[in-house]
């Protein structure tokens, strides 16, 4: 692929999603964009790139960006993260919110929906304690195609067997053709909306828990910092941000602090204690 | 220490597929072609894990797991059903009979690994 074509395509993907593609990812561009080129009647990826030098139809641009993002996900991904949620974070929040009786959770790059549905299943275990509460789970992703999949709540034979205990499959899913569909109650429990993390979230409100896992890994430091600082502001003082197991805020932002002993868990940095006047 | 998985299935092909997948995941394996042979194997030496087919001659998977859970030491092994039966009612029946997990065929090594790790085995 010529440098020029690579630049046009990687720039578009970067601008729209934040995903930074290094030059050695050229094969990935080539293999994932060939079907997109065909779909829009271009002979080659180079031709597609050529067309994108001028403002192109928005659906071509969208298809290019969505083809380059990775959507892999599974239920209860990273057992340790969900263990911390179940055993530490949710019990503390449920105790702390017993007067307000409100809990707000945001799954910020939800892909095909396994992450927010796992949260919904976990909160369902606390159904009795949460009776009468306002529990909101907001789930967003850049990809409109993924959001449509999430809303449908249909998973393949293989997807329902990765990370999901059989008891929960039996409890919350029904067979649907070759696959399985999640219960209407759980579908109602999650509010799915398209949203780009590079944009300013308007009207989202504050959250007790934000999950932003396995998405910022390929973003550059500036975008990462902007997004994490925003999330720090959107979190309740005693709220928690969960990143992927190998992700950190170190060297990116000082608005969040790692919770020692809890892998991937961060809390807003407390404001500095008021300095005592010192006698001079 | 290496954990042992007893593979209980009347299909030789299935047993060999499971044997290879389990070996990749670091397990030692033993095999039995039906429930009653599996019970004998368990009475000789209790494995850590049992991968259990449903429909088999002599003694099926459900009969086996009920029997196993009554056997001294038989409460210990983690029992994973592994079957083409894929109704919600069947899953519930298997769990109620004493199984810990349920794999629907066809499966791959990722699924097997996921189910084993859900039960703290890897
Ligand atoms: C690998 S998935 C992670 C799914 C889930 N959080 C998990 O850990 O299993 C990454 C998701 O991030 C989404 N994504 C990529 N760039 C994004 C952006 N700028 N805004 C919102 N979502 C984005 C992709 O569409 C994809 O679904």
Q: What is the pLDDT of residues A65-104, one digit of tens each?
A: 999 999 999 999 999 999 999 999 999 999 999 999 999 9
pLDDT band at B32 (very low <50, low <70, confident <90, very high): very high
Please tell me the distance in Å from B56's CA to the nearest CA on chain A.
22
Residue B35 CB burial class (10 angstroms; 0-12, 13-18, ≥19): buried
Fold of B3-118: Rossmann fold (3.40.50)
Q: Domains for chain A: give ranges and CATH numbers.
A: 3-69 (1.10.155), 79-268 (3.40.50.150)
Q: Which residue has the least CA distance to atom 7 on ligand 1? A: A73
Assess A163–B contact: CB distance below 8 Å, yes or no: yes
A62 C-alpha to ligand 1 centroid (Å): 15
Lowest mean pLDDT across A13-17, A23-27, B16-20, B76-80:
A23-27
Q: What is the C-alpha to C-alpha distance for residues B39 and B47, in angstroms, rounded to an integer? A: 11
Say yes or no: CB of residue A115 within 6 Å of ligand 1: yes
pTM (2 d.p.): 0.95
Q: What is the pLDDT of residue A55?
A: 82
Measured between CA atoms, the residue of chain A closest to residue B107 is: A158
Can you tell me whether residue A141 is helix, strand or coil?
Answer: strand
Average pLDDT, integer, range A31-36? 97
Q: What is the C-alpha to C-alpha distance for residues A110 and A153, in angstroms, rounded to an integer? A: 13
Considering CB atoms only, which of A158, A174, A175 is closest to B111?
A158
- Mutation for A interface: B94, B115, B120, most A CBs within 10 A: B115
Residue A276 has pLDDT above 80, yes or no: no
Considering CB atoms only, which of A157, A163, A166 is closest to B101?
A166
Q: What is the pLDDT of residues A116-175, one digit of tens each?
A: 999 999 999 999 999 999 999 999 999 999 999 999 999 999 999 999 999 999 999 999
Q: What is the C-alpha to C-alpha distance for residues B30 and A95, in angstroms, rounded to an integer? A: 49
- Give this complex's ipTM: 0.96
Q: What is the pLDDT of residue A57?
A: 81
Q: What is the pLDDT of residues A179-231, one digit of tens each?
A: 999 999 999 999 999 999 999 999 999 999 999 999 999 899 999 999 999 99
Residue A280 has pLDDT above 60, yes or no: no
Residue A279 has pLDDT above 90, yes or no: no
Secondary structure (DSSP) of B28-93: EEEEESSHHHHHHHHHHS--SEEEE-S--SSS-HHHHHHHHHHSTTTTSSEEEEEES---HHHHHH
Chain A residues with CB under 8 Å of B95 CB are 166-167, 170
- The residue count of chain A comes to 280
pLDDT band at A278 (very low <50, low <70, confident <90, very high): low
Please tell me the distance in Å from B16's CA to the nearest CA on chain A.
21
- DSSP for residue A213: -
Residue A47 has pLDDT above 70, yes or no: yes
Q: What is the pLDDT of residue A245?
A: 87
Residue A111 has pLDDT above 60, yes or no: yes
Please tell me the distance in Å from A78's CA to the nearest CA on chain B.
11
Q: Which of A136, A155, A277 is nearest to A207 (CA)?
A: A136
Scanning A1-153, the segments in alpha helix (DSSP H) are 3-17, 26-39, 45-51, 58-68, 79-84, 90-96, 114-125, 144-152
Ligand 1 binding pocket mutation candidate from A109, A214, A231 (most atoms within 8 A of CB): A109
Q: What is the pLDDT of residue B46?
A: 98
Considering CB atoms only, which of B87, B94, B114 is closest to A161?
B114
Q: Which of B63, B68, B11 is nearest to B41 (CA)?
A: B68
């Amino acid at each position: 692929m010529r440098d020029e074509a690579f630049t046009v395509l990687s720039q578009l993907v970067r601008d729209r999603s934040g995903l930074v593609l290094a030059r050695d990812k050229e094969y990935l561009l080539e293999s994932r964009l060939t079907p997109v080129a065909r779909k829009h009647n271009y002979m080659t990826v180079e031709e597609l790139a050529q067309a994108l030098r001028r403002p192109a139809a928005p659906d071509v641009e969208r298809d290019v960006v969505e083809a380059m993002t990775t959507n892999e996900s599974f239920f209860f991904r990273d057992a340790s993260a969900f263990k911390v949620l179940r055993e530490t974070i949710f019990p503390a929040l449920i105790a702390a919110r017993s007067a307000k009786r409100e809990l707000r959770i945001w799954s910020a790059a939800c892909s095909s929906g396994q992450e927010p549905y796992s949260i919904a299943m976990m909160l369902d275990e606390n159904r009795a304690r949460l009776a009468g509460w306002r529990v909101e789970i907001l789930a967003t992703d850049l990809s409109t195609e993924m959001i449509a999949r999430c809303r449908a709540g249909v998973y393949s034979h293989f997807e329902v067997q990765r990370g999901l205990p059989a008891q929960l499959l039996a409890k919350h899913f029904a067979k649907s053709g070759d696959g399985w569909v999640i219960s209407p109650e759980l579908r109602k429990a999650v509010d799915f909306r398209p949203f780009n993390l590079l944009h300013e979230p308007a009207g989202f409100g504050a959250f007790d828990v934000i999950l932003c896992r396995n998405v910022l890994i390929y973003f550059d430091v500036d975008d990462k910092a902007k997004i994490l600082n925003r999330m720090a502001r959107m979190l309740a003082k005693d709220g928690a941000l969960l990143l992927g197991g190998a992700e950190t805020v170190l060297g990116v932002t000082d608005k969040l602090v790692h919770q020692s002993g809890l892998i991937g868990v961060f809390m807003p940095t407390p404001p500095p204690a008021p300095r005592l006047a010192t006698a001079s | 220490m290496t954990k042992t998985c007893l593979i209980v299935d009347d299909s030789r092909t299935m047993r060999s597929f499971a044997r290879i997948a389990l070996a990749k995941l670091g397990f030692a394996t033993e095999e039995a072609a039906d429930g009653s042979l599996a019970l004998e194997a368990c009475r000789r030496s209790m494995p850590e894990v049992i991968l259990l087919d449903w429909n088999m001659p002599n003694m099926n998977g459900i009969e086996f797991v009920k029997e196993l859970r009554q056997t001294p030491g038989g409460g210990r092994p983690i029992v994973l059903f592994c079957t083409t039966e894929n109704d919600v009612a069947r899953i519930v029946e298997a769990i109620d009979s004493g199984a810990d997990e349920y794999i629907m065929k066809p499966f791959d090594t990722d699924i097997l690994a996921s189910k084993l790790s859900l039960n703290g085995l890897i």
